[in-house]
Structure 1
């Protein structure tokens, strides 16, 4: 596998994204986090043809575009409606990135993964398929497995990065609990729009990949993603709020099931007690990175 090839600094890449001036520090932290993920994967060579599923507003896309160089390309796929997002919509974010120096390397594709991916492909079209912090947005484990099966046909290798459900410090433990709490609620909704829809652990991802005809050839962990990677703080804040209690009462009708979700929320809130500033001191959990190839 190639050595790391990202050359731009997180700060320089953050300036290419459509963010408010006071959001540059957080955005640079997200960029640095994704550069670390690429390093754990083993790097991406210049000239690589990449397919990214779940690109969102382009946080990881722009890092990939930097890594593949002027001779490479990134096809970035996401099903999010173009008008979704705040303070900038997905369409505005993509359009802005397209005007930057890295824009010509990126092809934005608005589509659901299974709609975009062919059911059969005679030979790989891409060098690498990327799923970076996107699996938890999928509707179910079978959907993940089918997506990986189709990716196996279209890509020579598949790189996956997802929250590991492990914590290296007490400050990131609440994020683990919050993710499980959200998942316990969202799986009881007929339709979910949460950031946490289907929680799958590294072991579960590996099993789903094996079912799809893939084998794990390398794995690693990004520990303590960084002080300004706020995913943990956001998720714990959402679970701790009163609106979440209202969502439980609205969506969980069975008393025993409701008690489980409340208990998980209570555990999340209790885990904040050792932190001097409560939610403000929450850090994001570790991230698992796996590299797969055709079995």
Structure 2
């Protein structure tokens, strides 16, 4: 097995993550953003990290690189192992387990609260990296924080900021509101935006369960990060309109969803006319610890 990369070797970390050769630049940008988070949070060698909402493991592999052979990452996600594209959670996790940092990772398919209730393990750091919008309802975020309160030394959170210092990310911001206006009409969902919470709401939820802010910042994502383009592309697609017609019956609510779709298309067209493309919005990054 090859030697594990260092946290500064972004190409080496990206090479570990499952990808087709022609998609390396996409993976590399994702890894770069996760490395920005890990460096901002000062994840150290030897740490025992609990990652909530690990998905296919793009942040997991960076965390595993940062903690070294003396550390560990327990990566928890409730999603089915056949969920996800272009690689499912199961495929990605098998690939990462077989990598040079795989021995540092323990993937767990479980509800985070149920997992915490079934174990007494203590962790140095809990990480929730851009996962809160996947939760079925806003209270799930608060419930997870409450369950973590006495189980970790600190909690590190990142989420999209709903603002951007780069005008090219405006279609991404508009697209998230368009998706949220649709998703709140569904009883169940597998979409990327299920419970949209602003940084202010996330911070307030943390304070309400007894946490205190230790550090907070907003960062710009790497140029090559395509999340904004993907989200805007979905909202501008025929599939979004079909979902609106399927799930939204009220005439006024449907009009809001379609108007939001049109706004995304128009903002994207402005960029296209300038020879540019959609970028990803800013990301809010914070560290919390138990108050007192």
Report whether the alignment pairs 1:289 with 2:285: yes
- Does 1:19 find its partner at 2:19? yes
Partner of 1:191: 188
2:78 aligns with: 79
Residues 6 and 161 of structure 1, relative CA distance in 2, 3 Å threshold: farther
1:24-72: CA deviations, max 9, x gaps?
111011001111112222x111110000011111100010001111100
How do residues 70-109 of structure 1 correspond to structure 2 at under 5 angstroms?
Answer: 70-109=69-108
Deviation at 1:6, TM superposition (A): 5.5
Output the CA distance in 2 between the equivalents of 1:249 and 1:15: 41
For 1:115-157, what per-residue CA distance to the aligned partner results, in whole angstroms no more than 9, with x for missing partners? Answer: 2122896xx7000000001111001111110111001121110
Instruction: Identify which range, 85-94 or 233-242, moves more after superposition.
Output: 85-94
Superposition map of 1:144-159 within 5 A: 144-159=141-156
Report the 3-state secondary structure (helix = DSSP H, G, I; strand = E; otherwise coil) of the residue aligned with 1:139. Answer: coil
Give aligned pairs, total.
Answer: 287
Give the distance between the partners of 2:119 and 2:93, measured in 1 at CA: 29
Match of 2:33 in 1: 33
TM-score, length basis structure 1: 0.92
Q: Does the 8 A contact of 1:120 with 1:153 survive in 2?
A: no
**C-alpha distance in 2, partners of 1:235/1:279?**
19
Q: State the match for 1:256 in structure 2.
A: 252
Structure 1's 131 and 163: CA in aligned 2 closer, same or farther, altered over 3 A? Answer: same
- Aligned equivalent of 1:243: 239
Residues 27-36 or 261-270, more deviating: 261-270
- Matched residue, 1:226: 222
Bigger drift between 89-98 and 128-137 goes to 89-98
| Structure 1 unmatched runs, 5+ | none
| Residues 275, 281 of structure 1: 8 Å contact kept | yes
Structure 1 residues 222 and 6: CA distance shift in structure 2, 3 A: farther
Gaps of 5+ in 2: none
| 3-state DSSP of counterpart to 1:159 | strand
TM-score, structure 2 normalization: 0.93
Could you say what the CA RMSD is over the residues aligned between the two structures, in angstroms? 1.9
**Separation in 1 of the partners of 2:274 and 2:185?**
28
Relative to structure 1, the CA distance from residue 262 to residue 130 in structure 2 (aligned partners, 3 Å threshold; closer, same or farther) is same
Deviations 1:180-206 (A, max 9, x none): 110110011111110111110100000
